[in-house]
Structures are given as C-alpha cells and as structure tokens.
Amino acid sequence: MKTIGILSLTLLLGMTLSASANDSVTEAIGNSKQWAIQTGDYANTRYSELDQINKSNVKDLKVAWTFSTGVLRGHEGSPLVIGDIMYVHSPFPNTVFALDLANDGKILWRYEPKQNPDVIAVMCCDTVNRGLAYADGKVFLHQADTTLVALDAKTGEVKWSVVNGDPTKGETNTATVLPVKDKLIVGISGGEYGVQGHVTAYSIETGELLWRAYSVGPDDQLLVDPEKTTQLGKPIGKDSSISTWEGDQWKIGGGTTWGWYSYDPELNLIYYGTGNPSTWNPKQRPGDNKWSMTIFARDADTGMAKWVYQMTPHDEWDFDGVNEMILTDQEVDGQMRKLLTHFDRNGLAYTLDRETGELLVAEKYDPAVNWTTGVDMDPASETYGRPAVVAQYSTEQNGEDTNTTGVCPAALGTKDQQPAAYSPKTNLFYVPTNHVCMDYEPFKVSYAAGQPYVGATLSMYPAPDSHGGMGNFIAWDNIKGEIKWSLPEQFSVWSGALATAGDIVFYGTLEGYLKAIDSETGEELFKFKTPSGIIGNVMTYEREGKQYVAVLSGVGGWAGIGLAAGLTNPTEGLGAVGGYAALSEYTALGGQLTVFELPD
C-alpha cells in the first residue's frame, strides 16, 4: 500500500456547495432538518448535523409512528423530507406517497404508475427502487419500466415524463436519479440481459434529453476524448473500449449504471461506477472489456469524461462497480486534497484523487477476499492499477463447465449497493458488508433480446474460518486503508448506514433490527426489531424542534430474493436463494416505514 500521510482535518463537501449546483437542491441539503437527497448530500456522505439524538440518549428511542406502503417486496432507498412533507416510495409498482407531517402523516397525494407487470420478469434481483429525488418544486421517480416522471411536489400532478430504456430488451430501472444544475442524471439497469449501459442527462424543466454517455462502445458514444480523457494519468487513446472487445460483443456488453451518483460542484464533475460486462462467462468475451467495472468522472454540462479507472478488467465473477463514490476533502501528506472513496463489490476499497484520478489506496476491506493478492501500486509498472488474479479462483482459467470453488467474495460482493456513511468527526467510513463466498461455474450462453444472458451457475455460503455469519459492519480508515473495528452479523448487512453529529451510526439488519452504535468504538447502544428485514437506508430529519430517525423495512433485494419472490431452488436468484435460506426463520415479507423519536 502506498503511504499517503496522517488524516488530521476533513471538510465535508456537502457543507460547501457552490451556486453552480442546483440552487433548490443546495438550499434543501443545507438545511439539516430535511432529508433532501437519497445520499444525504452531493458528496454521498450520508451524514447529518442533527445531534439531539446522541450516544447518551439513543437507548431511549421509541416508535413515533409507522406507515405501510402496501407492497410486499424489497424496500430499498429512503423517504425524502422537504419542509413539512415526507415523500415515500415503494418497490414495483413504484407508488409515491406525499405525507403531511403537520397532520399525522395524512396522505396529501399519491401517484400510482400504470406499468406493464411483464417488466417484473426482466428485473434481475427483486423489484426494488432506491428512491425519489427532489429539485425545483418537483419530485422525480424513475420507474421500473424506465419511465422517468416529474411530479409537482405539492399536488402530485405529472409535469412531464420520458422513457429512458426498453424493457423488451432487458432494460429496466432500480436506481434513484441525481438533480445537478438544470439536469437530471439517470442510469439504466439490465446487465444480466446484455444491454449496453449508459448514463443520460435530461432537462429538469422539460424532460428533454441533453446528453447520453455509454459505458462501452465507440468514442463518440462514450463521450470521451482519446487524448484528454485519462486513466491513471495517461490518455486512454482511440477506440479504448471497442479494442478490448471481440467483434461487436460490446453492443451487448453490459456496463450498466444502476448505482449511486455523486457531484463536486467546484470541479463540476459527476462520479459513478459501471457494472459487470455481459455475459458472466468470461470465455465468451476476451479482453479487458472496457469500460465496464469502471469509475467515471464526467463534466456535468457536456457529459465528457475527464478520467476513468477500471477496477476489475475482464471481470470473471460479476463484481459490478456501481457502488457509491464518497467525496471528502482531506489532508494527505500535509496537503489538502479532493478525495473519492469507493468500496467496490470486488472486495477492495479505493481512495483516489477525484480531480486527477490518481490512485492512492487500494486495500481489501474484508480479510476473506481471496481472488486477488492485491493491486499493483507501482506507477512505473506495466500492470499499474490492476489487481493480480489468483489462478485458483479464476473462473476463466479453470474453464467453461468447471466449478471454481471457494471464491471470496461472492458475486454480490463484499458490499453491494447498500451505501456506506462517513463522519467528519471521526474521519471514518461506516460500511455495511457481505462476508460471503461462492462456487461459480460458467457455461456457454447465446444472446436473445429480453432473455437472461448470464452463463453461470452460482452457489453462496458464509466465508469459512471466521465468525460463521454472512456479514460485518465495519469502520474504515480511507487514508491508512485499514479496518478500525468490525462488528459480526449473522446475515449480510444490506441496509444503508447513517452517521450523525450525535456521535452515533445507524444501520439495519436482514432480520429486521435497526441498530445504533457508538461512532468511535462500535459499541451497540440500541436495537429495535421492525416488522420485516431491513434493506432500506436509514435517514433522519427534524420537525418542531424534535429529531426523528426513519427506515423502510421490507425484506428483499438480491440477498432476500428467495423470500421476496418465493424461490426455493438453491441456485435460483443467481445463487443467493441457497445462501440465505435460513433468513426465512427470522423474518417475513413486509413493507413499512418506521419512524423513531425520543420520549417527551
């Protein structure tokens, strides 16, 4: 690991947003009494300045009120709170509720999309949706069928709608969207169906398509400049993507963009990651398969990529790179630098300079990770920035129709999309993780539009020779590249974390517990079992001088797909059903928002 100094001072980007960002979003984020964006701020820190609930009194939390969404599938994301209105979403059919917090949560309006239920069959890993966005008096929903809708925040009236993809080809949506300036940044799902992933900017005012940048393909589709777009300081060169695919395989090459987006208003750059290459059988797609599994930094106005970094070239394990990019300003070797921290599915935690794309740290954040010995950190090396693959766990080297056993992590990664949190008070990142390994057997598969294009059979199980559980909740030092402490969990931690100025961190468990821990030590201070497993993201807000904490519960997602979809074959759910079979002994389906408060 490259040593980059001792952390002594951290500045939250979310506290210093400039006027170049969308003014309505900037103003809403700047008011800590609200929860105006899914990730807490543009920097994706999931940190709140509220401190009424703190480590001395969090043990006294009680349920303030609850709300049922009426849907029994996986509930990811969180509500938004703007003023006295809370906006709640559901999984498919993606109903939106506006609740009046000044009137006992009375439903002010609801939006009920009319979607073709056939879209459910082409959603990879449950019918989840990661939440709404707000800007300029509008609430934005990206539906499962890829219809993007702008709703009047006061009335629910549809102001405009556009279609972002084609479900008959396998293009769907599970992600939220990001309002930036006059644009709405929107991704696409469908990596298991051989789609060509992309990010699109639409006009917040009209829904007009302003630019679209693909993850794989020719330079003009990628929105890259061969001489100016760089990877690790070097120009990527002409045809950087298609030269790493065989023939026209890139046209069904995946690289979908169903994760989270962050934004630096000073640099005017948007950051996000791309997903797995298609198919899961690496033998059928020789080459690095650029730019799947890649961090992109793009100009918000034009979509042009400033820099890229491919984390897992020629992915052999379905280690999507879509997890959140957390932006912090930190002291490195005595100098303040703009950093980006990313916990990848591949089990490596990366720290980069977000202005230049320089790689500073790449370390395992679960000791069980075994597919690689680590990343080459020598800038003079020909393999600089690449992970060294352990032959025993290479699904390609072992060959088609050969079961590669004991690969850690499993395809759902050391962390999936469940977002981490960051506290400027401790300078630590709080990370929900999966402590899961797999057996992986690739086989030859043919492409047909709208049909699964996977080509692998998987089984999953807890990492051996450890605590026997399938998850940990860890505190991570992004400068040293090391775990400060780790809390074992029986199942994967599939909930987004929340850190607050009250010196506490919240997260949920698949059994349904909301937990609060000491942000410095990890000591458990509070837990409460909600009606169903938690895969939602914890949020907080304040109203009339009282702080509240809220979380959606409703088991599902990839880890809970067996329960959510009624699957029983151990290899179904892309291998997750067997791995999480015991989950049914601890929780059942649900769809409820639970809001907590301190006693009066």
Q: What pLDDT digit, counting tens, does each position of 457-468 carry? A: 999 999 998 898
- Rounded Cα gap, residues 581 and 562, in angstroms: 7
Residue 97 near residue 110 (C-beta atoms within 8 A):
yes
Residue 498 near residue 38 (C-beta atoms within 8 A):
no
Which residues face 198 on adjacent strands? 214
Read off the tokens for 291. Answer: 């730019």
**Spatial CA neighbour of 79 closest among 89, 65, 64, 69:** 89
**pLDDT recorded at residue 124:** 87
Catalytic residues: 318
Q: What pLDDT digit, counting tens, does each position of 401-447 carry? A: 999 999 999 999 999 999 999 999 999 999 999 999 999 999 999 99
Residue 4 C-alpha from the chain's centroid:
27
Q: What is the CA radius of gyration of the chain?
A: 22
Ranges under pLDDT 50 in the chain: 1-20
| Domains and their CATH numbers in the chain | 10-597 (2.140.10.10)
Which residues have a Cβ under 8 Å from the Cβ of 448 and sit 6 or more positions away? Answer: none
C-alpha distance from residue 400 to each of 313, 346, 390, 444, 592 (Å): 19, 21, 17, 7, 44
User: Collapsing DSSP states into helix, strand and coil, what is residue 377?
Assistant: coil
**Spatial CA neighbour of 482 closest among 429, 446, 525, 524:** 429
**pLDDT recorded at residue 22:** 79
**pLDDT recorded at residue 21:** 58
**pLDDT recorded at residue 49:** 98
- Rounded Cα gap, residues 231 and 161, in angstroms: 36
DSSP string, 478-517: TTTTEEEEEEEESS---SB-EEETTSEEEEE-TTSEEEEE
- Helix (H), strand (E) at residue 389: strand 387-389
**pLDDT recorded at residue 77:** 98
Which residues face 529 on adjacent strands? 513
Residue 364 near residue 390 (C-beta atoms within 8 A):
no
DSSP string, 299-357: ETTT--EEEEEESSTT-SS-----S-EEEEEEEETTEEEEEEEEE-TTSEEEEEETTT-
Strand 348-353 relative to strand 230-231: parallel, antiparallel, unpaired?
Answer: unpaired
Q: What is the pTM of this model?
A: 0.95
- Cis ω for the linkage preceding 245 (within 30 of 0): no
Burial class (CB in 10 A: 0-12, 13-18, 19+), 117: exposed
Read off the tokens for 254. Answer: 């995946």
- Rounded Cα gap, residues 121 and 126, in angstroms: 9
**pLDDT recorded at residue 3:** 37
**Spatial CA neighbour of 313 closest among 292, 285, 340, 284:** 292
- Helix (H), strand (E) at residue 564: helix 561-565
